[in-house]
Structure 1
């Protein structure tokens, strides 16, 4: 099959998605989990008409087996099915077994288990004894943020709103006689919560977290509090026309950065200027209110409620290198990443040193992304900064060497595969690491050659039939294998079916309509360059 027409088709399709403001917005799949949580929160707040629209969407999108997966393309899973049944007031089974299963499913990480248990309690599915809900220590929110990592918080770094709101509702219904000090801190922590709420009212710009916060405060007798009113306003503003909610408003910064890479050489000066200006404007210029991340990073969305993170910061730096920008902007992003890197050499997502829970641990895909960004910007940085970047790459490579599996693959943190027995996505992780290693001088970084050889050997064993379009595109772009299959799956660059890919370890699967388009275009262009 001819590759040129497919490239042209995909290029035109992606350019048509570019907004005048200089960004791509994309579209996340509707989420049954987000819709269940948002609908229940709205119903708790008395917004019954809008809540019923969400509940009707859930009824219409139930899987054949009677359960729900998070995206409409996902098989049913325990968490989403449970929350949908709570929202719809359906039978959920024996309360004792249910509570035990929720805690077992998520283990030591309370980021998801406690909000889920709380919604089960508020919906009447676990009886009336709040002892089944672990008490989140909301009083820790009054401590200086610099000591959070030493306090062994039971939730991930960005979940301070949940810690406060869900801790308060548990305390209201089942106060510990040994924790009377909490009573005097209620007003203070509510003030902290109000201070970190984004202007939109949406925590993380996400319906699930915002809904959990709203229902918990309502359940704690704080329904008239401004945090609740603003959160409910956010849910009302972000509902889609069909009555559903996605897990987040958008991934605009992320898909914009990825689209720039795929369109290298295809953007006019005018478009490059608009995109560059947009990315520069979305760089965080102040400390983040609840992760307390320093200025200099980028979050996943153009909205205020996003959180600066390693993956989006590296992606923005790579895009800005291609677009051309002032070195000062890049220096801030580079310094932000340098300060984030963990002692083990790996990159966490949001906060350095919070290594115990999944969202906060070091991971190969983010580490590789940092390496790729640093290697591109080396010539533009002064000698001292490059020396620090060089050392960062060295320890990053040592981390990747330790994390490479015996078969030669790497497993990413944020992207999964529903067809994999463990829901892991070693194809995505391995390809992202290989992209970073390919940009390194093997004379400077000799370990890269051995790691690459083992990884390419593993990719040769991958069955193309088992891959979604996104993974197939990554493999084709790196190896040239599977180009005909890619052309066939995209109908010569005219169809780009998205697969659920994200947040696999939290059972928050989603698809993003621009992923397959971006990945396929970049892969086809690489294949053409490889073939001359």
Structure 2
């Protein structure tokens, strides 16, 4: 079977390969793995077939421009807020609002509420918003769905318990007064950045939420709706007696004192507003308006995230901007990009992830044997080079450095981040020294399926003497990498670690402010980010003895948990963090017998499930007893395997069982089924399902296992195209 991809011929037939793999599974009916079945040659064949299937599928997902972008799925708060926006604009009975309501009904839990992730407990804020959205779109409150939701909400404390963001939604639709929301003074815009409480002391994502919400506090936009569409039936107490929203984590004594003082200031500010004694408010409003408009430039919306885009639409509406003004047309266009509309449902993405997806997909394909100068990887590298942010953003308010990072989305010039920067740089490094990369690929060509045997394609010269590195191309990559590395050095925190968007952005007291209950006021160092950048530095030739490396390793030593694991801020959770740290330390040639490494390996080994896979629920962010516990998933199994392989465990029975799990649970099209949310937005508040995670991470893990464990097992494609043969190799 010949198939074309991007105009080129690929001739691998997965059905032919599948005939070599025994249909019998090493899993019994109770899904328990039997070690006796871990025959290495058979596992090699299964892994090769899995690589071929997933590699083919991933290549087919590449966009014509050269990038990858999977759907980014959040919880139903997104669809609810979309409907609430439509209600503010007077379109709550429109077709799109009703489609979003259909999606909400599909996601309702058995007990009647809505959760932050599949299988999670009911979340009161998500449930109140969903109930309100359904009523606004015309659903009968006496229907079974709404009756069930109402019972669940009241049993959980009613609308009284919703968070700050939800209260603002209730206020702009007239369900409560703005005085019942925590005040966010617009005068924050006027505070000098050296103060411990100021705009630039907050995290970048908090900034893009706080500024528009401060305008909401000042201008108090509201659309009154009929009482029959309201949700007073969800109130247990009058809103003025609702409890103050609280940060979900543990607070220090200082933070508690700051919180008490901030609560008193909140009351004072509201009193001053009532007396119209806020003389600086108009000046602050002008500054907030200008601040938001400035950050529309070269961005997929304010902060390039759905909530800030939504607030922007409301803010510029109340400021008097017409719907056809450039500002409003811009925000509506950015919102439209996030909407996925189908025949009877509509869902909303929190943002888009093309840079992140493209970098990881490129690395995974390279790991799987796709040559660096292949059209797919050349196009993705060129696309990534064009996305480097070469203008200064919010980070430059506290850091003196030349720009050089990458953002997560298509465009977000004010907010490049260290995680994407490191991942993109590792992808671009695969484009350096193309002759050397070709020689490396030839050395491993027998490990991987033949669907990309470029030396057999018409017009392709396999003679390495004919392959010359394009100096202009290499110079461009070298320059981008140099800029990125310098920027990352400048972003290293004083504790030796890295945060995502800012340097030294960790003022714990901010989490005690009355409006800080979204658990996102800080952007501190985290083990997963620190380890990814350490991995990059290792690939750039840095080792112990280098200042940034020494400080990063010291930070990782300090943050290792007593059980050997590491916290994962941006992926769920300790599996994610532990994988990344083991991989980062391996890249700098950190001794594999070091107690820190062995403890991490042992934790992963102990959390492997009887099936051979790994899984962890977001519940572990709030309950440490749930660490490493959850339904086994392809992405988390891949993370665990990648960490263990990096730590020298490729030949272990633990790793072989994990590889077998991936090979056995793969779908016929090369994908893996994964409904679980394994990405993290804000711990205990917002989680994500990256739809490409269960494709490129398993591909990466399988490919690295083949490289690390199966160099003595190859396939001679030229003489026996699909026959596994053992070869003597010279070391």
Same fold, judged at TM 0.5 (above): yes
Aligned to 2:582: 434
Instruction: Measure how far apart 1:371 and its partner are.
Output: 0.4
CA deviation vs aligned residue, 1:204-224 (integer Å, no higher than 9, x gap): 332222223434555x56564
Distance change (3 Å), C-alpha of 1:378 and 1:404:
same
Matched, 1:484 2:528: no
Matched, 1:408 2:553: no
> Which SS does the other structure have where 2:505 is aligned?
coil
Instruction: Measure how far apart 1:285 and its partner are.
Output: 0.8
The structure carrying a bigger helix percent of its residues is: 1
Aligned to 2:524: 361
Q: Unpaired runs of 5+ in structure 1?
A: 103-112, 380-385, 417-424
Instruction: Measure how far apart 1:98 and its partner are.
Output: 5.7
Matched, 1:451 2:596: yes
Aligned to 2:462: none
Aligned to 1:43: 87
Corresponding residue to 1:134 among 182, 204, 216: 182
Instruction: Measure how far apart 1:456 and its partner are.
Output: 0.7
Distance 2:606 2:414 in 1: 38
Aligned to 2:497: 346
Judge conservation of contact 1:77–1:507 (CA < 8 Å) in 2. Answer: no
Q: Unpaired runs of 5+ in structure 2?
A: 1-42, 136-140, 142-149, 221-269, 433-473, 512-519, 612-629, 650-654, 711-731
Q: 5 Å matches for 1:172-191?
A: 172-173=219-220, 175=273, 177=275, 178-191=277-290
Q: TM-score, normalised by structure 2?
A: 0.63
Aligned to 1:204: 303
Judge conservation of contact 2:395–2:502 (CA < 8 Å) in 1. Answer: no
Q: 5 Å matches for 1:364-375?
A: 364-375=527-538
CA deviation vs aligned residue, 1:372-416 (integer Å, no higher than 9, x gap): 01111137xxxxxx99x9211111111100100010000111112
Instruction: Measure how far apart 1:364 and its partner are.
Output: 0.1
> Which SS does the other structure have where 1:158 is aligned?
helix
Judge conservation of contact 1:79–1:507 (CA < 8 Å) in 2. Answer: no
Matched, 1:517 2:695: yes
Judge conservation of contact 1:40–1:215 (CA < 8 Å) in 2. Answer: no
Judge conservation of contact 2:202–2:505 (CA < 8 Å) in 1. Answer: no
Matched, 1:473 2:638: yes
> Which SS does the other structure have where 2:72 is aligned?
coil
Aligned to 2:24: none
Judge conservation of contact 1:169–1:216 (CA < 8 Å) in 2. Answer: yes
Instruction: Measure how far apart 1:280 and its partner are.
Output: 0.9
Q: How many residue pairs are counted as aligned between the two chains? A: 500
Corresponding residue to 2:107 among 61, 80, 92: 61
Q: Quick check: 200-209 or 223-232, which moved more?
A: 223-232
Corresponding residue to 2:415 among 304, 307, 332: 307
Q: 5 Å matches for 1:151-162?
A: 151=198, 155-162=202-209
Instruction: Measure how far apart 1:513 and its partner are.
Output: 1.6
Distance change (3 Å), C-alpha of 1:153 and 1:240:
same
CA deviation vs aligned residue, 1:162-215 (integer Å, no higher than 9, x gap): 222211222234525453321333233212222212466622332222223434
Distance 2:483 2:684 in 1: 31
Instruction: Measure how far apart 1:73 and its partner are.
Output: 6.9
- Across the aligned residues of Structure 1 and Structure 2, the Cα RMSD in angstroms comes to 3.1
Distance 1:165 1:212 in 2: 6
Distance change (3 Å), C-alpha of 1:205 and 1:349:
same
> Which SS does the other structure have where 1:510 is aligned?
strand
Judge conservation of contact 2:125–2:161 (CA < 8 Å) in 1. Answer: no
Larger radius of gyration: 2
Aligned to 1:83: 129
Distance 1:222 1:448 in 2: 65
Q: TM-score, normalised by structure 1?
A: 0.85
Distance change (3 Å), C-alpha of 1:306 and 1:515:
farther
